[in-house]
Amino acid sequence: MEGEGSAVAGAVPPQIESPKTFIGVGARELVILGVCALLGTLSLFIPSHLAIRIGIAVLVAGLGLAMAFGRDRRSGKTIEGYIFDLFRFYTRKRFRQKGTDEEAPSPHKMRRSLLVETSVEPEPIYAGVESPIEDAWISLKPLPLGAGLLFSVLSFAFLAGLLAWIWLGGLVEIQAWLGVSGF
């Protein structure tokens, strides 16, 4: 199955992506970014404190960037493909199968034989890939989906809201609470 001179040993792309535009961003990414920009702009009109509105707008924009450019590290799937696979996995029909072979090989022997047969571990699909097209003006690396990306988006939104609150009079409130005179 694998040839001697194959560039990627054992890595099969999960799907063939549509071609990107001239700046290296496809229609899917543009739609996601446009919808999130619209939602972020609309969140600025929520009847609340301006710092909270700024934090929510930054959170929506950050989640939009994560959804648009995030990829699973191992499979290279987009977030909607990954969520669809999880949904399909948890809604599958489960049934018990009993084997008819009494001398079934143990999982340890099967694993050992698989390790002997495969000598090269496949690399992640998007390892070292900058952009699907080489002549793009902007080269984009896919963001690794995971808890680290979500934590980064949440902490950036919190810090943006905190800085907006400090800029809009929060510093004066803190100084009055601590009994410190202004600068």
- Distance, in Å, from the CA atom of 72 to the CA atom of 20, rounded to the nearest integer, reads 19
Q: Hey, is 68 helix, strand or coil? A: helix
Which has the closest alpha carbon to 45: 60, 24, 62? 60
Instruction: Fill in the DSSP letter of residue 17.
Output: P
Look at residue 11 in the predicted model and tell me its pLDDT: 58
pLDDT given at position 179: 81
Please tell me the total number of residues recorded for the chain in this structure: 183
Q: How far apart are CA 102 and CA 82, in angstroms?
A: 37
User: pLDDT, tens digit, for every residue of 104-161?
Assistant: 555 555 555 555 555 555 555 555 544 444 555 666 677 888 888 889 999 999 999 9
Provide DSSP, 123-146.
PPTTTT---SSTT-SS--PPEEPS
CA atoms of 10 and 76, how far apart (whole Å): 14
| Amino acid making up residue 118 | T
Stronger pLDDT, 170 or 9, i.e. the higher one: 170
Mean pLDDT throughout 33-57?
92
The pLDDT, as a whole number, for residue 182 is 61
Indicate the burial class of 54 (C-beta count within 10 angstroms; 0-12, 13-18, 19 or more).
Answer: buried
Per-residue pLDDT, averaged over 159-164, amounts to 91
